[in-house]
Amino acid sequence: MAEVLVTGAGGFIGGAVAAALHRDGVALRCVDRRPLDEWHQVVPEADNVVADLSGVDACRSAVQGVQSVYNFAADMGGMGFIEANKALCMLSVLIGTHMLVAARDEGVERFFFSSSACVYAADKQTDTDVTALREEDAYPAMPEDGYGWEKLFTERMCRHFFEDFGLETRVARFHNVYGPLGTFEGGREKAPAALARKIAVATLTGDHSIDIWGDGQQTRSFMYIDDCVHGTRLIAEGPNGPPVNLGSSELVSINEMVDMLEEIAGIRVERRYDLSAPQGVRGRNSDNTALRARYGWEPTTSLRDGLERTYAWIHDQLVTRYPVSSRV
């Protein structure tokens, strides 16, 4: 019998959390709508289920007999994806709503929801030298259109399911998660993986020019996957409280991240700036005051260290695609 359900377990973050829980001896049920051979990683010993959780019947089946839920299931991706698929991202509200209803009805003890920094009000993120976002900055509400609204709505659902029905809910607002085994091509990848891929291709082909979305001055913080997994479990298993940031507080520009990747790869590239491409907000960083106060911890992996590991993995995925004669 499974103790814990991980939804979106075929995804990057869900798969990493499931693997960590399995290493600690937790009995798992893992659910994703993708075929099993398309999951980022699979725990063979888990009860692995392929199902679309946008319907309530599938959610009821998924939660039967489990004590707690980690809900990562959603349509999401990098800025290019979420700006072009607003309605599709908002339809993930069906997953969150039906999962909460099923968890309540089946007597689940605890429910974790993975939210996003995209819930934060846009007028708080208009400058590259941005003031780090505090949890209260989500209101008055003006989140990222589509994806951010869905996340903010489901946060409120979690709050009210606790208040009205006593379902213990926990919410973390993820800030830009990256690392090995993550998506790095195909349109859903985020900036660290996309840029690492571009630099790796440059080293393998000898064409040392890359496209950068925007002017490269936009700023973000990026959290390594190991920190995300550790923080997720702290929050999911910790005391009750309002939504909390889960992200690195190391603010960098896109240009600075390219600088790091150049050093890691040992090359210099020509940067072609595409000002017509999706860029998102001008600056975003995580204020971790509440995270430290509540859990005595915050992400510690530096961007440089995380990029080294991520770049090495992406380079290894690409190296067989290019003949030796094309490398410089």
Backbone torsions φ then ψ of 311, nearest 5 degrees = -60, -45
What is each CA distance from 278 to 135, 150, 217, 318, 328, in whole angstroms? 25, 20, 14, 25, 32
DSSP label of 238:
S
Nearest to 11 by CA among 83, 66, 92, 87: 92
- The catalytic site residues sit at 147
* Residue with the two structure tokens 């039967």: 64
Residue 76 has what pLDDT? 85
Q: What is the pLDDT of residues 65-79, one digit of tens each?
A: 999 999 999 998 888
* Residue with the two structure tokens 């991706």: 77
Backbone torsions φ then ψ of 272, nearest 5 degrees = -110, 115
DSSP H or E segment with residue 71: strand 68-71
DSSP label of 286:
B
Please give the chain's pLDDT, 328 residues, in tens: 679 999 999 999 999 999 999 999 999 999 999 999 999 999 999 999 999 999 999 999 999 999 999 999 999 888 888 889 999 999 999 999 999 999 999 999 999 999 999 999 989 999 998 899 999 999 999 999 999 999 999 999 999 999 999 999 999 999 999 999 999 999 899 999 999 999 999 999 999 999 999 999 999 999 999 999 999 999 999 998 999 999 999 999 999 999 999 999 999 999 999 999 888 889 999 999 999 999 999 999 999 999 999 999 999 999 998 876 455 4
Q: Quick check: bond before 35 cis, omega within 30?
A: no
Q: Which domains does the chain have, with CATH numbers?
A: 4-177+222-246 (3.40.50.720), 184-221+250-294+301-326 (3.90.25.10)
**Cβ-based neighbour number of residue 316 at 10 Å:** 11
The alpha-helical segments, DSSP class H, found in 123-253 are 147-165, 191-205, 225-237
The tokens describing 240, both together, are 């009750």
The three-class DSSP label of residue 209 is strand
Residue 228 has what pLDDT? 98
**Cβ-based neighbour number of residue 177 at 10 Å:** 25
Q: Which residues pair with 69 in a beta bridge?
A: 5, 111
Residue 78 has what pLDDT? 81
